[in-house]
Amino acid sequence: MLELQVINNIQELVQKRAQFTSQSIGLVPTMGYLHEGHLSLVRKARADNDIVIVSIFVNPAQFGPKEDLDNYPSDIPNDLKKLKKLGVDVVFIPTANEMYPPGFSTFVNPKGHVATEAEGAKRPGHFEGMATIVLKLFQLVQPTNAYFGQKDVQQAIIVANLIKDLHLAVNLNVMPTIREKDGLAMSSRNKYLTLKTRKSATILYKALQKGKEVFEENLNKESTIVYLSMVQSFSMEHDVKPDYIEIRHPITFAVLSKLTAPALLLVAAKVGKARLIDNFYLQENNEWNTGVIL
Ligand code: AMP
């Protein structure tokens, strides 16, 4: 296919999908205001598949009543320019009413530590909304491959569980976190940062780096030592209020009492108007996945 096709309604999407009978399809779900993090997923999808479909949908079901749904940044013309350049075939941009028409009443309810703790505890209902929209997109697009970012690691784990638990025929690809030069993880929400808070925001990355160092120096010891070192890092930046600092197992999501691989270091913090999250991942082979600095 040559032209980028923008589709706003489900009927048209389903008709389009039916034309791709024997081709592999890569799906990249996003909320738009695209940055290099999103584009890294799109590039991978482009390299892996015959057809690439990107969705842009700020899903109201995954926002709490006091969250930033109404202010969430958007620039569809610019997003489309970027996607066209990368050779995307279809962009699906539905309205909220298209995805949740009157009478909509079926939600996916993920359970367990990964759904109810850390982000799950701070954002009640978030993962239910996320899992519901992801399942809907999977049903509509029936992708061969789906692409998600390590930046939102809890989301990625929940999607992996969704695929496994509901026997979905989708291959999940989790891609490394893309970072700014000073380590800040790219996020659409970085738009909320001012010149001053943009500087303070690097503390999330610095605290993770500190945590990683202390982790390596204290293998098999109590994890409190890493936790305390990260708390101390955050205390240097008065503008930033940590929401949580956690050390967990990447599959069970249980809190780790000892410093052993595999492990996730997770942080969330309020930086001015923005609430930001980030993580480092110590894999089973003892190698860290800390993302990619651009
Ligand atoms: P969002 O638009 O924030 O919902 O993100 C859409 C997808 O892009 C999700 O799978 C995110 O995990 C992923 N993503 C967001 N930021 C980054 C980043 N800095 N690096 C890699 N992937 C990212």
Cα of 43 to ligand 1 centre, how many Å? 13
Q: Convert the pLDDT of each residue in 179-204 to its tens digit.
A: 999 999 999 999 999 999 999 999 99
Distance CA 42, CA 51 (A): 11
Q: Convert the pLDDT of each residue in 41-83 to its tens digit.
A: 999 999 999 999 999 999 999 999 999 999 999 999 999 999 9
For the packed helices 224-235 and 203-217, what is the interaxial angle rounded to 10 degrees?
150
Task: Report pTM.
Answer: 0.98
Distance CA 185, CA 154 (A): 16
Cα of 205 to ligand 1 centre, how many Å? 16
Q: Is the CB of 38 under 6 A from ligand 1?
A: yes
Q: Which residue, judged by its Cα, is nearest atom 17 of ligand 1?
A: 37
Q: Is the CB of 31 under 6 A from ligand 1?
A: yes
- pLDDT at 2 (0 to 100): 63
Tokens linked to 26: 């890569």
Tracing tokens 């205390």 back to the chain, one arrives at 235
**Would you say residue 1 has pLDDT above 70?**
no
- pLDDT at 210 (0 to 100): 98
Q: What is the mean pLDDT of residues 145-172?
A: 98
**Would you say residue 36 has pLDDT above 70?**
yes
User: What end-to-end distance do the CA atoms of the chain give, in Å?
Assistant: 30
- pLDDT at 193 (0 to 100): 97
Of the pLDDT bands very low, low, confident and very high (cuts 50, 70, 90), residue 262 is: very high
Q: Is the CB of 148 under 6 A from ligand 1?
A: yes
Across the chain, mean pLDDT equals: 97
Select from 225, 212, 266, 223 the least CA-distant residue to 243: 266
Q: What is the mean pLDDT of residues 239-258?
A: 97
Q: Which residue, judged by its Cα, is nearest atom 5 of ligand 1?
A: 30
Task: Determine contact, residues 170/49, Cβ cutoff 8 Å.
Answer: no
Cα of 37 to ligand 1 centre, how many Å? 6
Give the residue numbers marked as catalytic: 38
Q: What is the mean pLDDT of residues 20-46?
A: 98
Given strand 274-282, what is the order of strands in its sheet? 240-248, 263-271, 274-282, 288-289
